[in-house]
Amino acid sequence: MNAKRKWDIRTILLGLIIAVIAIAVVFVIFTPPAENTEETPSNVTVQGISQNKGTYVGKRISVEGFYYSSLDEPCLIPATTVSNPNPTIWINLDEASLNLAKQAANITVSDNLKYRVVGVLEEVPLPIGFDVKIIVESIKAV
């Protein structure tokens, strides 16, 4: 009997198919998951934004908070400061985009009611440092 194995086309093709499948499995296992896409906003808190302003600038976010309009610009405040007449933590809302979102959602926004705002966090330059505001895409009562 001949101990030497003859390599025919079927054996070579089967070996190539197994190699391709093995490479695909290794690729799927070791490829990291995709980053957050533009379609899915990051859920963040008012406190989280105020403590890490630079982290979310330019990103699409979703924030829940209480609407407050007694400052220079309309803003969202956390639940812990609703009873405080002078809140210390807030995130400003762009007034023009807020009005468009209110019209699109056909709602009237009132102070001290909880809303979910989806939008892009934009940097606002100040003489020293920067602040942020949300360019509102949508708003709904929670």
Domain boundary assignment for the chain? 42-141
- Answer for the pair 85, 39: CB distance below 8 angstroms, yes or no: no
* Structure confidence at residue 1 (pLDDT): 47
Place of tokens 């070579």: 12
Residue pLDDT, tens place only, 68-117: 887 788 999 887 766 776 778 889 999 999 999 999 999 999 988 999 99
Mean pLDDT score across all residues of the chain: 86
* Structure confidence at residue 83 (pLDDT): 72
Residue 100, classified by CB atoms within 10 Å of its CB into exposed (0-12), middle (13-18) or buried (19+), is middle
Query: Which is higher by pLDDT, 141 or 54?
Result: 141
Two tokens, residue 2: 């001949």
* Structure confidence at residue 52 (pLDDT): 87
Q: Class of the 42-141 domain?
A: mainly beta
Instruction: Tell me the CA distances in angstroms from 39 to 60, 64, 72, 109, one per residue in order.
Output: 8, 18, 31, 25
Q: Supply the Cα-derived Rg of the chain in whole angstroms.
A: 27
* Structure confidence at residue 127 (pLDDT): 86
* Structure confidence at residue 81 (pLDDT): 67
Two tokens, residue 42: 């990051």
* Structure confidence at residue 129 (pLDDT): 80
* Structure confidence at residue 141 (pLDDT): 92
Helix (H) or strand (E) segment spanning residue 7? none
Residue pLDDT, tens place only, 21-53: 999 999 988 887 766 555 667 889 999 898 888
